[in-house]
Structure 1
Amino acid sequence: MQYEVVHGTPRLDRVPPALQPLIGPCLAPDPASRPLPDQIIHSFAPPPGAERAWRHGPIALDITTREHGLHQLTTVPGGVAPRSVSRRRLLTGLAVGGSVLAVGGGTAAWWNRRTGRTGPFDIPPAVQSPKARVLDAKKGDYVLGETPEPLWSIPSALGDDSPAPFPVRDVVIVGAPKGGIAARSVVDGSLRWSAPETVAAQRYLSLSDQLVAATDRNGTLVTFVASTGEAKWTSPAEASSLLAADDDAVYLITKDRRVRSIGRSDAKIRWTVDVSADLGTKAASRGLTAHGRLVIAAADGDVVALATNDGRKVWGLRDQAEGGRASLACSGRSLCVTGRNLSAFDVVGGKELWTAQNPKPPNADAVFWGPPTIHGNHVYASALQYPLRYDLQSGKTTDWAWGGLVTCDPPSPLVLQGSGLWSVSVNDKQGGINVIDLSAEARPPWVFRIIRTPDRYWIAGDANRVLLMDGTSLSALPVF
């Protein structure tokens, strides 16, 4: 039900047709797409010149007829009549009713007509995510013990500086081979649109699954409709790299190494602040937003939380990762941080909730925790090359049959898609993808031995697909 509230389409089939165009825009999931109160009031106001409509023509005749009929109905025996209904009151009722009828008859798109949906802030709703079919061995979709073929694979689809593939509903955003960014269909990998003037290495963001935000060579923040590539609003943000976004703003690092907030409703700078951490260069820092906090994993291993409304520092953590930045994941108010440890903090106040006990390494080397992934009541992270699972609320380990039998590359992301946990295992020459079955059937792991560039890979999951970046190639893998 919560998913439908955020991502679904309201059912208006039992709403009178004349009212659907008035009510529908008010139920848009993105507040920025909803009409403002004054626009709603204006839409219900009598049309211009309504005060003259009763003087002649069909409406005047209708008013006279109704007034005469009303007079007859309200005249009591004996010739004594009550006070008649004034023409002004009749006019007012007809004018308001006429406004609604006009909306239902030929001018239904009142909100679209007033905005035109042509301006930089007139954003169409997000498209539906086309889901792939989940494979079933019992139906003959694949043979147990054998690896299914990819759904599609595009060689040389990515540039050398492409960040990780980033699925946004029906497209996946990547760095284009000849520069800029490109959007490819998640269904077949075909090119949907491109923006050659952007800089992929400075990262890209999804804005409510409706827009893709990126930066150009001058540091201008630019946005595109995710599904079509239509250019929308821009802001001279002096951006060096992007951090995160929420419903109100886009957060970025400026060229002079400060953090800045750009409003999504007007493209104006909300605030710019210095932070007590090294943000690094070339998109070295990462961020996420939750519950009014912008949490930044800085390049020097520190974690800093800023208030999204004014940029003030709320809390911070020192030295969470050695030789690089920590990794973050958040669900509700639980923020998981990995690096030296796997720990959970209250994202609002920064209070530590728990820290997992580090596995004992076979030698004196320090334990390195890979990126965390939260799914339901569990958090997954790798340590000593093994994916591990912990209870999100208590931090206690859980009994997991395959957790200690499948290895993965320490920096590999852990992706939950279908019934499997996906991770990458590599050596000096080649690599593969391990898929651990998390369902009750507990089937033996799958292995996709397809990674040819073990020093440059990434995986991401969306809509029953796992998207694989392998050097400059891009593939979509099926799930069970």
Structure 2
Amino acid sequence: MQYEVVHGEPRLDRVPPALRPLIGPCLAKDAAARPLPEAIVRSSAPPRGADRLWRKGAVAQDITTREHGLNRLTTVPGGVAPRSVSRRRLLTGLVAGGSVLAVGGTAVWWSRRTGPFDIPPAVRTPEARVFDPKKGDYVLGETPAPLWNVPSAVSDATPAPLPVRDVVIVGAPKGGIAARSVVDGTLRWSAEKVAATGRYLSLSDRLVAAADRDGTLVTFVASTGEPKWTSPAEAASLLAADDEAVYVITQGGRVRSIGRSDAGIRWTVGVDADLGKEAASRGLVAQGRLVVTAADGSVVALDTTDGRKAWDRREQSDDGRAKAAVSGRTLCVTGKNLTAVDVVDGKELWTAANPEPKAGITPFWGPPTIHGDHVYATYLNLPLRHDLRTGRGTDWNYAGLLECDPPSPLVVQGSGMWSVTVNRTEGGVNVVDLSPENRTPWVFRIIKNPTRYWITADANRVFLLDGTTLAALPVF
């Protein structure tokens, strides 16, 4: 044996091929040819980003599920819980209960069980047909009928409809929320204990998040309504969500982050702005920033990792109607002006020139919509289009386009730009062609509740909320 050590060659035929480049040099006869400890550490280091495997995704969700399950199983009757099972002990225990899966060269344990954090794949989004007069879908100069129309489908206090793949979420007539098919408007499922007025969110187009009447954050599989994970978030209303967390306004008027992998509270902070009541503030998440358009007209950006304030814009709007939309790092905010800022640091990129205001009317801009290289927003009652990069106004043919209701969102779907116009008793939905074909505009004269409407769109359908009626309109 000693002779072989000094003169022979090591037999590595039973060593896994992936380990031979590491073990072979360690057995070199010449000590100078053997790798130093630092080189061995570098060779055996996990791939870059491998630590994310345990912090997010299916494996992390499975670990958290088992952690919660073991803690529940070891709770003493009467509600007294012993010391929590550590994550290291949990990982060790998974060896016996799961199967081994190689991920990026690392062996991990994959459980065969399912739990509240095991989320099914997103269902396919059923796209509607784009109408074409050449195929007989409608007659040029005439407006086609809605795809479907369901009276009394929503409550009179519902938030805006929320399309999520094959369903659209609304406030249910008898309380709670309801999911209706985007294809025909039929009821798919409902959750009666949810407080719809606190708003609802889509989580990666797979789950719907909302708050119940006690402030508990609840989630449901969007397509089926199956309840999933919950969190005692003390939520009064929901702001926004990203891949890591759901962001809410608490019943105490603070902003809170709830982790999506474990339903735990990540941070809670106060915001130097009036968030209002009854879901008056709105939020969006981009580039590691939670942007809150507050009820007092301020815009505040928080770091999503710890909730610290990154930047703010005070008095963006005089009446609390500041709105925002984002594309990449460009955040467009409206109110007294249409302004673009860098969403990360708040640096102003441009401010659009306000057209000549009408005498005695305070100028303001309606909700912005970003589509491609342009941002659309209504100035007073005139829909305008600006270059997203420079802020310059663009030429646009307004022929046949009626004036917009100032609070109306501008929706781009298919080849059309959609807006709403109303008078004291009724209103309609206007559709102007954005393509070079410049087709005759559509006007749906169907709005019966001029003070209670909204439009949103997805998959070649425009969803119209009109009082308690929900409808889907075709696109060209």
Q: TM-score, normalised by structure 2?
A: 0.78
The structure 1 residue matched to 2:252, chosen from 256, 269, 280, is: 256
> 1:56-95, aligned counterparts within 5 Å?
none
Q: For residues 234-290 of structure 1, what are the alpha-carbon distances to aligned partners after superposition, in whole Å with 9 as ceiling and x for unaligned? A: 000001100000000000000110000000000000000011000000000000000
The structure 1 residue matched to 2:111, chosen from 110, 114, 122, is: 114
Letter in 1 for 2:385: R
Q: Look up the match of 1:35.
A: 59
Q: For residues 34-84 of structure 1, what are the alpha-carbon distances to aligned partners after superposition, in whole Å with 9 as ceiling and x for unaligned? A: 336999xxxxxxxxxxxxxxxxxxxxxxxxxxxxxxxxxxxxxxxxxxxxx
Asked if 1:466 is matched to 2:442, the reply is no
Confirm or deny: 8 A CA contact 1:159 1:175 kept in the other structure.
Answer: yes
Q: In structure 1, how many angstroms separate the alpha carbons of the residues matched to 2:408 and 2:299?
A: 21
Asked if 1:181 is matched to 2:177, the reply is yes
Is the alpha carbon distance of 1:37 and 1:382 closer, same or farther for their aligned partners in structure 2, counting shifts above 3 Å?
closer
Letter in 2 for 1:116: R
Q: Look up the match of 1:342.
A: 338
Q: Look up the match of 1:386.
A: 382
Asked if 1:221 is matched to 2:217, the reply is yes
Confirm or deny: 8 A CA contact 2:464 2:472 kept in the other structure.
Answer: yes
1:204 positional shift: 0.2
1:126 positional shift: 1.0
Asked if 1:352 is matched to 2:376, the reply is no
Confirm or deny: 8 A CA contact 2:61 2:262 kept in the other structure.
Answer: no
The structure 2 residue matched to 1:127, chosen from 114, 123, 127, is: 123
Q: In structure 2, how many angstroms separate the alpha carbons of the residues matched to 1:36 and 1:391?
A: 42
The structure 2 residue matched to 1:245, chosen from 235, 241, 246, is: 241
Structure 1 stretches lacking a partner, 5+ long: 1-25, 40-98, 104-110
Q: In structure 2, how many angstroms separate the alpha carbons of the residues matched to 1:428 and 1:187?
A: 32
Q: Look up the match of 1:273.
A: 269
> 1:275-424, aligned counterparts within 5 Å?
275-402=271-398, 405-424=401-420
Confirm or deny: 8 A CA contact 2:199 2:237 kept in the other structure.
Answer: yes
Q: In structure 2, how many angstroms separate the alpha carbons of the residues matched to 1:230 and 1:356?
A: 46
Using the TM superposition, name which of 361-370 and 257-266 deviates more. Answer: 361-370
Is the alpha carbon distance of 1:470 and 1:245 closer, same or farther for their aligned partners in structure 2, counting shifts above 3 Å?
same
Task: Give the 3-state SS of the residue equivalent to 1:201 in structure 2.
Answer: helix
Q: In structure 2, how many angstroms separate the alpha carbons of the residues matched to 1:165 and 1:263?
A: 25
Confirm or deny: 8 A CA contact 2:59 2:110 kept in the other structure.
Answer: no
Is the alpha carbon distance of 1:345 and 1:264 closer, same or farther for their aligned partners in structure 2, counting shifts above 3 Å?
same
Q: In structure 2, how many angstroms separate the alpha carbons of the residues matched to 1:479 and 1:459?
A: 13
Asked if 1:428 is matched to 2:424, the reply is yes
Confirm or deny: 8 A CA contact 1:388 1:403 kept in the other structure.
Answer: no
> 1:128-167, aligned counterparts within 5 Å?
128-167=124-163
Q: In structure 2, how many angstroms separate the alpha carbons of the residues matched to 1:404 and 1:278?
A: 41
Is the alpha carbon distance of 1:314 and 1:456 closer, same or farther for their aligned partners in structure 2, counting shifts above 3 Å?
same
Is the alpha carbon distance of 1:457 and 1:37 closer, same or farther for their aligned partners in structure 2, counting shifts above 3 Å?
closer
Pairwise CA RMSD of aligned residues? 2.3
Q: In structure 2, how many angstroms separate the alpha carbons of the residues matched to 1:128 and 1:201?
A: 28
Is the alpha carbon distance of 1:151 and 1:32 closer, same or farther for their aligned partners in structure 2, counting shifts above 3 Å?
farther
Asked if 1:451 is matched to 2:443, the reply is no
1:293 positional shift: 0.2
Is the alpha carbon distance of 1:337 and 1:403 closer, same or farther for their aligned partners in structure 2, counting shifts above 3 Å?
farther
1:366 positional shift: 1.5
Q: In structure 2, how many angstroms separate the alpha carbons of the residues matched to 1:382 and 1:156?
A: 30
Q: In structure 2, how many angstroms separate the alpha carbons of the residues matched to 1:473 and 1:225?
A: 24
Q: In structure 1, how many angstroms separate the alpha carbons of the residues matched to 2:312 and 2:436?
A: 40
Count of residue correspondences: 385
1:362 positional shift: 2.7
Task: Give the 3-state SS of the residue equivalent to 2:134 in structure 1.
Answer: helix
Confirm or deny: 8 A CA contact 2:401 2:441 kept in the other structure.
Answer: no
Task: Give the 3-state SS of the residue equivalent to 1:34 in structure 2.
Answer: helix
Structure 2 stretches lacking a partner, 5+ long: 1-49, 64-98, 103-107
Letter in 2 for 1:129: T
Confirm or deny: 8 A CA contact 1:307 1:313 kept in the other structure.
Answer: yes
Confirm or deny: 8 A CA contact 2:380 2:406 kept in the other structure.
Answer: yes
Q: In structure 2, how many angstroms separate the alpha carbons of the residues matched to 1:468 and 1:115?
A: 43
Confirm or deny: 8 A CA contact 1:285 1:325 kept in the other structure.
Answer: no
Q: In structure 1, how many angstroms separate the alpha carbons of the residues matched to 2:195 and 2:60?
A: 35
Q: In structure 2, how many angstroms separate the alpha carbons of the residues matched to 1:449 and 1:170?
A: 27
Q: TM-score, normalised by structure 1?
A: 0.77
Q: Look up the match of 2:80.
A: none
Letter in 2 for 1:213: A
Q: In structure 2, how many angstroms separate the alpha carbons of the residues matched to 1:440 and 1:163?
A: 35
1:386 positional shift: 1.1
Percent same amino acid at aligned positions? 69
Q: In structure 2, how many angstroms separate the alpha carbons of the residues matched to 1:322 and 1:443?
A: 38
Letter in 1 for 2:289: R
Q: For residues 314-337 of structure 1, what are the alpha-carbon distances to aligned partners after superposition, in whole Å with 9 as ceiling and x for unaligned? A: 100000111123100000000000
